Structure 1
Amino acid sequence: MKEFFQENKKIAKTITEVAGLANYLWQKGWAERNAGNISVNLSEMMGDSEFELEHYPMFQLERSYDALANLYFFVTGTGKRMRDLAINPMNNACIIKMNKKGNAYHIISMKKRNLYNFRPTSELPTHLAVHNLLVSTGSKNKAVVHTHPNELVAMTQIPRFQTTEMLNKTLWGMHPEAFVFVPRGVFMVPYILPGSHKIADATIEGFKNGHEVVIWEKHGAFAIGETVSDAFDMIDILSKSAQIWFMAMQSGNEPEGLNDDQLLELKEAFLKK
């Protein structure tokens, strides 16, 4: 007997896309051990699906996410590896339904006997905070991706790149596509304990200010998109810029970068509304 997430073609397609992305992240070396996490708002795909939630235990949250009441999310699991997610996504992720107050959730994609041995990612506070913002502002973005892109993390180990302004200036300057496809740039969050509400609050500030990528100093990147592929693409482009910077530095030369006139030319050519 098929589960609801197998019979629903839209959800099945989304899960397949997440599995493909998990493989990319592993192959790129951005997902060591159980690093990285992904979530997707599935609510619009659920249709008229109904669940007898009394059969699924409720897990209380420390905060309320009012905009997420009764919504559904695909969320990767804590301690789960992206390389395993790529092979068997629903053994390494789950679908949750938020309760009517937005302060608790039910895992609805697992047999009851497995529920107590599985929890969503430890970064769930940030994922839910981001989705709460996206839903409350009417955003089209449904996907949130967190990963550890090597060169971007390495850049944040260098003091001069620990500000939003300097990091953006350098990343935009290394390759035209970084400016064209990530025109709002990144938002830099100084190092904060992972998995905390404090880092969730800091991340939200970046997305509130219109950024689509947030960099966690000495840790990794958070990105939003309409799909997980859209979110990944922005991190991938920025990572390419970081790679170019390091390659130039390894040659013994400080990279010149695009100047202000060249960036303005790009803006006028590609970013006209």
Structure 2
Amino acid sequence: MNVTDAKFVQGFVRMCSDGWEQGWHERNGGNLTYRMKPEEAQEVMPLLDRTRPWQPIGADVPGLAGEFFMVTGSGKFFRNAVLDPADTTAIIEIDDSGKNYRICWGLVNGGRPTSELPSHLMNHEVKKEISGGRHRVIYHAHTPNTIALTFVLPLKDEVFTREIWEMMTECPVIFPDGIGVVDWMVPGGREIAVVTSELMKKYDVAVWAHHGMFCSGEDFDTTFGLMHTVEKSAQILLKVLSVSPVKRQTITARNFRDLAEAFHVTLPERFLYEKQAEEE
């Protein structure tokens, strides 16, 4: 058996390929991390090299101590993941303190895990706790329509959520908790990791202004589907705004409440408040 024969590796590589095909990963843009299940780690354990030196994560994540992750490499191109996963991706192990990692497989031609590793791992720690361990995927991509909206919409959770929700009826059902928004920050450091992890306590989606999107989910399909849904809605909104700055009709707050009742989801009232006066 090769590591690349494992089902989770194939799912990881497919997600990289799907993101590239969507146009979300120019050059070496974007990153993906997956918190492996214990049985997956055991499956590939005989093929891992656990003798390599520990490296500092740049963040403390004690809640992830002893966990194994599959990650994309810094400077690696998503379009090449399907061609050579051993070069473009890696499996890493977190030490017992949650302060260090080591590469156990992959990046065979050199390199290190994604520069956004502190952000990913801090958010994995948050989502692991909040979801009871169900969330395993963190995905960051440079989604062009969502990025474009950060230049024209107020950088507020309430505004982004409401505007995106209005574009497709399915949106509030798929992400009923809404969308968080981060003002522009230097990527790759502890500061943006801390801010994003605070938002991830409330949301599964964070928009990084003028940069891209950050999503969390239970598996590859739901996480990719979440990002795809938000980005498609952003595309529709841009088309609407290009035709007219004023919407002739839209989904109202009352409509959203009816939708929530029908689909048994809870929609925070703060996302339904702003336009309520205009609709009555």
Normalising by structure 1, what TM-score? 0.89
The answer to whether the aligner puts 1:228 opposite 2:224 as a matched pair is no
- After superposition, give the CA deviation of every residue in 1:126-161 in whole Å (9 maximum; x if it has no partner): 011011223344230001110011111100111x33
How far off is 1:84 after superposition?
Answer: 0.6
The answer to whether the 8 Å contact 1:145/1:228 transfers is no
> Residue 91 of structure 2 contacts residue 103 of structure 2 at CA under 8 Å; is this kept in 1?
yes
Instruction: Assess if the C-alpha contact under 8 Å between 1:78 and 1:122 holds in 2.
Output: yes
In the alignment, which residue of structure 1 is the partner of 2:19?
A: 25
Q: Distance between the aligned counterparts of 2:37 and 2:65, measured in 1?
A: 11
- Tell me the SS of whatever aligns to 2:192: helix
Corresponding position: 1:217 with 2:212:
no
1:3-40 CA distance string (max 9 Å, x none): 4x246xxxx21221122221221121111110110000
Q: Percent identity?
A: 28
Q: Secondary structure of 1:118's match?
A: coil
Structure-2 separation of matches of 1:172 and 1:86: 33
Q: Is 1:59–1:104's contact at 8 Å kept on the other side of the alignment?
A: yes
Q: Report 1:43-54 matches (<5 A).
A: 43-44=37-38, 45-47=40-42, 49=45, 53=50
Give the superposed CA RMSD.
1.9
Alpha-carbon deviation of 1:46? 1.7
Task: Supply the distance in 1 between the matched residues of 2:265 and 2:55 (Cα, whole angstroms).
Answer: 47
Change (3 A) 1:248 1:63: closer
Secondary structure of the structure 1 residue equivalent to 2:42 = coil
Structure 1 equivalent of residue 70 of structure 2 = 74
Q: Which position in structure 2 is the counterpart of 1:182?
A: 175
SS of 2:170's equivalent in the other structure is helix
- Partner residue in 1 for 2:79: 83
1:60 counterpart (50, 56, 63): 56
Q: How many residues align?
A: 261
- In structure 2, the CA distance between the partners of 1:174 and 1:104, relative to structure 1 (3 Å rule), is same
Letter in 1 for 2:32: I
Contact 2:140 2:212 in 1 (8 A): yes
Give the match's secondary structure for 1:57.
coil
Q: What residue number does 2:117 align with?
A: 124
TM-score by length of 2: 0.87
Matches within 5 A, 1:140-155: 140-155=134-149
For 1:254, the equivalent position in structure 2 comes to: 246
Q: Report what 1:133 is aligned to.
A: 126
Structure 1 residue 62: deviation in Å? 2.8
15-24 or 171-180, which deviates more: 15-24
**1:73 match: secondary structure:** strand
In the other structure, the counterpart of 2:159 is 166
Give the Cα separation in 2 of the matches to 1:46 and 1:268: 41
Q: Distance in 2 between matches of 1:188 and 1:150?
A: 16
Any runs of at least 4 consecutive aligned residues in structure 1 with deviations exceeding 4 A, and if so which? none
Choose which of 205, 213, 224 in structure 1 pairs with 2:198.
205
Name the CA shift for 1:110/1:246 in 2 (closer, same or farther; >3 Å). closer
> SS of the counterpart of 1:86?
coil
Going from structure 1 to structure 2, the CA distance change for 1:85 and 1:63 (only over 3 Å counts) comes to: same
Which blocks of at least 5 consecutive residues in structure 2 are unaligned? 267-280
Write out per-residue CA displacement over residues 201-249 of structure 1, whole angstroms, 9 at most, x where no aligned residue: 011111112x111111111111111112211111111111111111122
Q: Look up the match of 1:264.
A: 257
Counterpart CA distance in 2 for 1:31 and 1:37 is: 9
- Contact 1:141–1:225 (8 Å) recurs in 2: yes
CA distance in 2, matches of 1:252, 1:135: 42
Cα distance, 1:257 vs structure 2: 2.5
SS in structure 1 of the partner of residue 32 of structure 2: strand
